[in-house]
Structure 1
Amino acid sequence: MEKHLKRRCDLSSMLKEMFKKNDLTSAGRKQVHLGGKVKESLDEAQIPDGLFEKCDKCNEIVYSEDVVANYYICPNCGMYFRISPRTRLSMILDKESFQEWDKELPVSDPLNFPGYKQKLEHLKVVTNLDEAVITGEGKINDTSVAIGIMASNFLMGSMGEVVGEKLTRLVEKATKRKLPVIIFCCSGGARMQEGIISLMQMAKTAQALKRHDEAGLLYVSVLTDPTTGGVMASFAMLGDVILAEPGALIGFAGPRVIEQTIGQRLPEGFQKAEFLLEHGFVDKIVKRNKLKQTLSMLVKSC
């Protein structure tokens, strides 16, 4: 407790020092280099990039290293930060066991949607991802699994033709190799820039999972924040075992859309993982630091 209070005091002192305004006259303005850009500073506090994170739930500013050490969970309020697919892989799989499948599939733009290809190319550079999902094979405590991880930072994990194709191929390869499948779901739903083609991925992924099930193999779906739309209405809810992270938003339409449609207030916590667990839609809520252990137990028992 004393150590925690001392850290908070140190953090408070550091923040005061960092945000201290400089007494600069117009002649004393200085040029500050931020991310390769030159920025004029006058009475403006400068924050070192990546040193702190702000929690959207409690609005506290916390050390990034504390967030990382705590499995990307706010140490103050317990809110789960969204994490990248590769960070997730490092948490779940044995070190250096992952082999990626179906990398760099051709870009899909069936509607020639204005600016869509350019946006995809930009996101590839910014996120260092080829699409909104990474798929491949790895090991969890020496047990081989086929795994897919969706990316919230790539068009909100929306499912278009390429995402559906990668997930379908993941399941089909797993069926041939007799591997259990684990998919970490995180999505805003079907990708509107691809129209009906994106909606077809719902049926395609479901058919692949049906054949995987008929082969007597295990599929574990892990619902993270948020899992919504066409993804929630297809492969995300077809798991033999459905797990969820605490506080994850899970639903087809968003709460505001539903309230506006039915003209009624929704129950407290509606569409949160805990609410779905109470109503039988989720088998278990698992804390992030227990996920690898839980998944290991499941795949070893199948």
Structure 2
Amino acid sequence: MNWLSDITPPGIKKMFKQDDNQEALWTRCPSCEQMTFNRDLEHEQMVCPNCGHHHQITPVMRLFHLLGEDWERIELPETPDDPLKFKDTKPYSARLKDYRKRTGERDALVVGKGKIGDRGAVVAVQNFKFMGGSMGTAIGEGLLTAADEAVKSRSALIVVTASGGARMQEGILSLMQMPRSTIAVQKVREAGLPYIVILTNPTTGGVTASYAMLGDIHIAEPGALIGFAGPRVIEQTIREKLPEDFQRAEYLLDKGMIDRVTDRRELARELSEILSVLMPPPEIEVPVAANDEASTVAGEDGPLDDTLPKAAE
């Protein structure tokens, strides 16, 4: 009989509960099954000190560890809550209300700006705990806002992905965020600024098929699942057994699909080194070409969106 069975006093079981309860004191690693005191786990950026398993991390904690305590949140535009009046076992509007209460966020993307090393950076982080980090219109608007801010402040754009794919409750509107996110990336690229993607567990579906694989550099966390369809779906489709580490970060690195696999605790240092190569020192002002639309509109000539063809809007 497990010692956490029904005969265990409730006060003891409460200390080891594996859910979103803020009063839980310990966390069991799903990889090595060792118990870690939550305060120690947070000190390690939610990386298991015993086996190196990367637990999920909140967007705010992620931004703090990448940008430091002086990071600034970028407010994102609000989007319609339930444009299709979708309902499955419960209305989509009710699901949104529930997840907003659980996470304290309006949707699955949080954007912050600050510095990594001495280079400016705008960092957009997906929250897997908000409907599986699914991509809806809010994420599309958020990425466009992040791209505009990056161009305006002459900063790198860094996107941290964590998603099961497109949000089915928004139907075709969700799928349209794939080309819209591509426009966001193109804005940054035309301004001559770096676009870096950090792939975390999991990154799948329409997110992988769009902005997650458009980076100048792709860095993955150890063990992250990265792909379009999941391995079980692929196995059932082709009726063949896949390699054990198929679609994991290390496998993709070996096949040349990504550039690096980096421990979360080393990400800030590694990003600082990368940006020091890709961006000029802050004291050097880069001249703006007269025909560089993305750069011109980042100044006093008007909003960035004015440069886009009407069809692209």
Instruction: Give the TM-score category using the shorter length.
Output: 0.7 to 0.9
Query: Is 1:46 equivalent to 2:13 in the alignment?
Result: yes
Mapped partners of 1:234, 1:101: distance in 2:
23
Return 118-127 or 140-149, whichever deviates more: 140-149
Aligned to 1:79: 53
Deviation at 1:69, TM superposition (A): 2.2
Deviations along 1:12-56, whole A, 9 cap, x unmatched? xxx97x98957xxxxxxxxx9xxxxxxxx7xx9533332110111
Deviation at 1:125, TM superposition (A): 1.3
Say whether the 8 Å CA contact 2:221–2:262 is kept in structure 1. Answer: yes
Say whether the 8 Å CA contact 1:227–1:249 is kept in structure 2. Answer: yes
Alignment CA distance shift 1:137-1:268 (3 Å) = same
Say whether the 8 Å CA contact 1:229–1:252 is kept in structure 2. Answer: yes
Query: Is 1:160 equivalent to 2:133 in the alignment?
Result: no
Deviations along 1:148-199, whole A, 9 cap, x unmatched? 0110100010000111111122112322332210011110000000011100
AA of the residue aligned to 1:182: I
SS of the aligned residue for 2:203 comes to: strand
Mapped partners of 1:286, 1:230: distance in 2:
24
Deviation at 1:77, TM superposition (A): 2.0
The equivalences for 1:166-205 within 5 A come to: 166-205=142-181
Deviation at 1:252, TM superposition (A): 0.3
Deviation at 1:144, TM superposition (A): 1.6
Mapped partners of 2:225, 2:235: distance in 1:
16
Mapped partners of 1:179, 1:199: distance in 2:
28
SS of the aligned residue for 1:217 comes to: coil
The equivalences for 1:53-68 within 5 A come to: 53-68=27-42
Aligned to 1:256: 232
Structure with the larger RCO, 1 or 2 (CA within 8 Å, 6+ apart)? 2
Say whether the 8 Å CA contact 2:63–2:71 is kept in structure 1. Answer: no
Alignment CA distance shift 1:193-1:215 (3 Å) = same
Deviation at 1:87, TM superposition (A): 0.8
Aligned to 2:262: 286
The equivalences for 1:1-302 within 5 A come to: 21=7, 46-48=13-15, 49-102=23-76, 105-114=78-87, 115-301=91-277, 302=279
Fraction of identical pairs, as percent: 40
SS of the aligned residue for 2:93 comes to: helix
Please list every run of at least 4 consecutive aligned residues from structure 1 whose deviation after the TM superposition is greater than 6 angstroms.
none
Aligned to 2:305: none
Mapped partners of 1:94, 1:207: distance in 2:
29
Deviation at 1:83, TM superposition (A): 0.5
SS of the aligned residue for 1:83 comes to: coil
| Aligned residue pairs, count | 267
AA of the residue aligned to 1:143: R
Q: TM-score, normalised by structure 1?
A: 0.83
AA of the residue aligned to 2:14: I
Deviation at 1:262, TM superposition (A): 0.6
Mapped partners of 1:120, 1:53: distance in 2:
27
Deviation at 1:297, TM superposition (A): 1.5
Q: Which has the larger radius of gyration?
A: 1
Mapped partners of 1:46, 1:223: distance in 2:
34
AA of the residue aligned to 1:169: T
Mapped partners of 1:290, 1:75: distance in 2:
14
Mapped partners of 2:25, 2:68: distance in 1:
28
AA of the residue aligned to 1:64: N
**Structure 1: where are the runs of 5+ without partners?**
1-14, 23-31, 33-40
AA of the residue aligned to 2:152: K
SS of the aligned residue for 1:183 comes to: strand
Deviations along 1:184-222, whole A, 9 cap, x unmatched? 111000000001110010001112212321221100100
Structure with a larger share of its residues in strand: 1
Say whether the 8 Å CA contact 1:182–1:219 is kept in structure 2. Answer: yes
Aligned to 2:302: none
Mapped partners of 1:263, 1:179: distance in 2:
46
SS of the aligned residue for 2:102 comes to: helix
Say whether the 8 Å CA contact 1:132–1:158 is kept in structure 2. Answer: yes
SS of the aligned residue for 2:219 comes to: strand
Mapped partners of 1:278, 1:229: distance in 2:
21
